[in-house]
Structure 1
Amino acid sequence: MRSVARFGEVKVDAGGACLPVSYAREEQIYLILEGSGILEYGGERIPVRKNDFMYLPPGGTHSISGSADHHCRLLVMGFNITAGITLDPPSKLLLANMDEVKEQTVEGHPSSVLYKLLVGDRKSTRDRIAAGYVVTSLFLMDFAPGGTNSPHHHESEEEIYLVLDGHGKIVAGGGMDGTEGLHPAQAGDAYFFRLNSTVGFYNNSEPGAKAHIIAVRSRYPFRKDED
């Protein structure tokens, strides 16, 4: 991993709290998977709930706590920003909820998977939040029974999949020739895909079978980006 600084799940007990953190050249995204809590950011205390996602820019201090009555389980994602990138972070917290984002098809992928486009880079016009320096896309995939996003590869991005529910086959390995390495996947499984790795998912075809995957892509720091 070169662009990814961290990717993991945190559970904060009801009434518990994490210590404040700040990273000079790391952007982070939090996604609330379960429960509710309080995000402290910019001197404010902001209530957060299930399916909220927020962009936390480099240099800002933030922490999260569980609410008085509920724990808070969240996905924490962090991405390294190379020294050659000029920082101009947003002046306010960027926060939205996945329930407010419409599902849609994406050009080049079958209609058997629908996407919620959550966070994109600073030039994005299609994502709910456009703020990433290194993050190019955070999205939710909703697979129909037997659905697939067609195995593919990315020449300039690393990618991570987290299976939220359902089960099927992850395509991982191989390379630009499209070779598929199939691996059983179920809820809770996470996969990292290196540069140019073949990546994809085949949902199982049982009647009514659904699967949801959170995916995040981040730009690989080629040497010219580090100069």
Structure 2
Amino acid sequence: MNRSCVKTKLKNLLLLLLLAPGLLAQDRKVDPTWLRRSIPFASKAEGDLPPGTCSYKAIFGEGDSDGRILRTVTRFGELAVGANGNCRAELYERQEEIYFVLEGNAVLHYADQAYAMRTNDFTYLAPGIRHSIVNSSQQALRVLVMSFKIPPRISIVATPTPKIVNLNDVKEETVEGHPTSVLYRLLLGSRTATRDAIDQAYVVTSLFWIDFAPGSTNFPHHHETAEEIYLVMDGQGEMVAGSGLDGVEGRYPAKTGDAYYFRPNCTVGFYNQNKPGAKAHILAVRARIPVPDEDD
């Protein structure tokens, strides 16, 4: 091999080495600031949900391809239970859970007690308590399951029996800092709070229902130390997710069944359609993230 050929090969090798980091960087996936998923809200036909079965569909967190980016939320998904079906008992030493019945009638087994639940019922499940859900009816049961990790430095105390509340029994009210055209039902909050229907949580700061009048918005905003999820229960409009360049937020179409996850400090909000009679409802949950020295 002549000297000229060797020099050419060396130059090509050097060029490849110089370009390689750039090529690798272009292939590297960046963790998203927000996530969008969708779940069907239409009732399942009896043939689609075999009797006696229990299945979980992940929306965010465990079981989702981007679950690694969530800090406090461990699971957010739908539990579907066929007629006369039951789910295995679960116990999480350092996780708290919220159940919201989307459709059907259930029996919640909590420790050694049983509690009836129906459509639009919600409850808080404390860490360290074995629990399970049973469908003793002939109709399908769908439950929204939300689970959250409790940092080691938070002390866990004994929790009383679960409190079960129905969405329709919680009054609508305005919230300071938001327009009066948007009404809230404050469903669940922190143990130190007193405004919610259930105040027993360690890391969940708020579970709330938002009622949007036609053309209304809850004003785009962000939370520096919390992650949040919006689930569109009915209606459609534009979801605000991220951006904020020069005060202009990012807007994306949102319809019934769409779910959005927002990382801390991500701009979040919703604009309802500006049409007569265009109502929209969102179920939202917010949980604080551990400060840096609380990470495992």
TM-score in same-fold range (> 0.5): yes
Q: Which has the larger radius of gyration?
A: 2
TM-score (ref. length: structure 2): 0.74
Counterpart of 2:93 (choices 5, 11, 24) is: 24
Counterpart of 2:80 (choices 11, 26, 32) is: 11
More strand by share: 1
Q: Is the 8 A contact 1:55 1:93 kept in 2?
A: yes
Q: Is the 8 A contact 1:81 1:134 kept in 2?
A: yes
Q: 2:233 aligned with 1:199, yes or no?
A: no
Which range moved further: 91-100 or 76-85?
91-100
Deviation of 1:92 after TM superposition, in Å, equals 1.0
Which range moved further: 167-176 or 179-188?
167-176
1:36 counterpart letter in structure 2: N
Query: Structure 2: how far apart are the matches of 1:202 and 1:141?
Result: 12
1:225 counterpart letter in structure 2: E
Question: Which residue is 2:215 aligned to?
Answer: 146
What SS does the aligned partner of 1:15 have? coil
Q: 2:139 aligned with 1:70, yes or no?
A: yes
- Structure 2: unaligned runs, 5 residues or longer: 1-69
Counterpart of 2:258 (choices 183, 186, 189) is: 189
Counterpart of 1:221 (choices 280, 290, 293) is: 290
More helix by share: 2
Q: Is the 8 A contact 2:232 2:256 kept in 1?
A: yes
| Identical-pair percentage | 55
Query: Structure 2: how far apart are the matches of 1:122 and 1:179?
Result: 36
Counterpart of 2:280 (choices 186, 189, 211) is: 211
Question: Which residue is 1:86 aligned to?
Answer: 155
Which of 1 and 2 has higher RCO (CA within 8 Å, sep 6+)? 1
2:291 counterpart letter in structure 1: F
Query: Structure 1: how far apart are the matches of 2:209 and 2:245?
Result: 24
Question: Which residue is 2:9 aligned to?
Answer: none
Deviations 1:155-174 (A, max 9, x none): 11100000000000000012
Q: 2:176 aligned with 1:107, yes or no?
A: yes
Query: Structure 2: how far apart are the matches of 1:178 and 1:73?
Result: 40
What SS does the aligned partner of 1:105 have? coil
Question: Which residue is 1:98 aligned to?
Answer: 167
Aligned length: 227
Which range moved further: 27-36 or 168-177?
168-177
Deviation of 1:14 after TM superposition, in Å, equals 1.5
2:101 counterpart letter in structure 1: I
2:166 counterpart letter in structure 1: N
Question: Which residue is 1:117 aligned to?
Answer: 186
Which range moved further: 24-33 or 68-77?
68-77
Query: Structure 2: how far apart are the matches of 1:66 and 1:154?
Result: 37
1:221 counterpart letter in structure 2: P
Cα 1:178–1:72 change in 2 (3 A) is: farther
Q: 2:234 aligned with 1:156, yes or no?
A: no
What SS does the aligned partner of 1:224 have? helix
- Structure 1: unaligned runs, 5 residues or longer: none
| RMSD between aligned residues | 1.4
